[in-house]
Amino acid sequence: MSVPRFGLGTFRLKDDVVRRVVSDALALGYRAIDTAQGYDNEAEIGEVLEASGIPREQLYLTTKIKPANFAHDTLISSLRESNEKLRVDQVNLTLIHWPVPNGEVKPREYLSALAEAQQLGLTREIGVSNFNIAGLKQAREILGSTPITTNQVEIHPYLQNRKLVEFARQEGLHLTSYMTLAVGKVMQDEVLQDIARQHAATPAQVALAWALRQGFSVIPSSTKRENLASNLKAQELKLTDEDMGRIAALDQGGAVRLANPESARPHWD
C-alpha cells in the first residue's frame, strides 16, 4: 500500500487557517496532506510546504479533480495548475472527487484523462473518491491494468459502508476514510467515551483506531494544534475485539451520511 495510513485532511480550511494548521501538522510530524481543487486552498498549502524546507520525497500530497474540470483537456490543464499551486512537479496521488454519474462528462472520458495525466508525470498514482461498487467496477474496466490506488469515502462509526468495504476487501482495493470523526459527533458518544476511558484515550482516538484497524487510511482534520497532536496518537491505540464489536453496533447506515451532494453522488450501496 502506497497511501500513508495517517494524514491531514484540509476540507473547509482556507486562507490563514489552512496555513496555520498545515504548519502545525508538519511540525508535529504529519507528512501526508490531503487537499482538492474544490477546497480552494492548494496555493496556501503550497506556500507552507515550500517554506517548511521538508524534502519533497518525505511528503505525500493528494489532490482531487473537481467535476467542473472533468473534460479531457481541462482535467490535464487543471492538474498542471494544481501542481503549480502546490509548488511541486508532481503530486503523489490524484483522485476523481465525485463520480457525477449523470453529468455531461462521462466516466470513460475523465478516467482516461486521469490515466493520461499519470502517463504525463503530473501525478504518481491515481484513484477515485465517493465511488460505489458499480462505479468501481466500471472504473477498473476503463482503466484496465492501471491500478486504482484508493477509493476515498465517508466512513465513520455511524456510517460503516459495509457492502462497499466487503467488496473492496474481496477485490484488494484500498479505502481511505474521510469524516472518520463524523464532524465531531464521536466526541459526545457514550459508547466511544466508555471505550476511551478504558484505554486512557479520547473518543476521537478510538474512532480513528477503529478505522485504522480495518486497514483504512484516515485523514482527520482540526484547527487546534492539541487535537492534531492527539489524533496522531490513535496509531498507538490497540482496540480489543470487544471494543470493535461495540463500535460495529453503532452503525446507522446511509441515513446519517454527511457528504451527499445531489448533483454528484452515485446510487449508494
- Residues 146 and 138: beta-carbon distance below 8 Å: no
Query: CA–CA distance from 84 to each of 34, 50, 124, 225, 231 (Å)?
Result: 16, 12, 15, 28, 30
What is the bridge-based pairing of β-strands 91-96 and 123-129?
Answer: parallel
39 is catalytic: yes
Alpha-helical segments (H) within 105-240 = 107-119, 133-143, 162-171, 190-198, 203-213, 225-232
By three-state DSSP, how is residue 214 classified?
coil
Which one from 30, 39, 110, 158 is the annotated catalytic residue?
39
The C-alpha cell at 133 is: 461498487
DSSP type of residue 146: S
| CA-angle at 83, arms to 32 and 2, nearest 5° | 35
- Residues 93 and 126: beta-carbon distance below 8 Å: yes
Handedness of CA 188, 192, 198, 202 (dihedral sign): negative
Q: Measured between alpha carbons, how far is 57 from 59 in angstroms, rounded to an integer? A: 6
Please list, residue by residue across 159-195, b when 16 or more beta carbons sit within 10 angstroms of its beta carbon and e when fewer do: bbbeebbebbeeeebbbbbbbbbbeebbeebebbeeb
Residues tagged active-site: 39
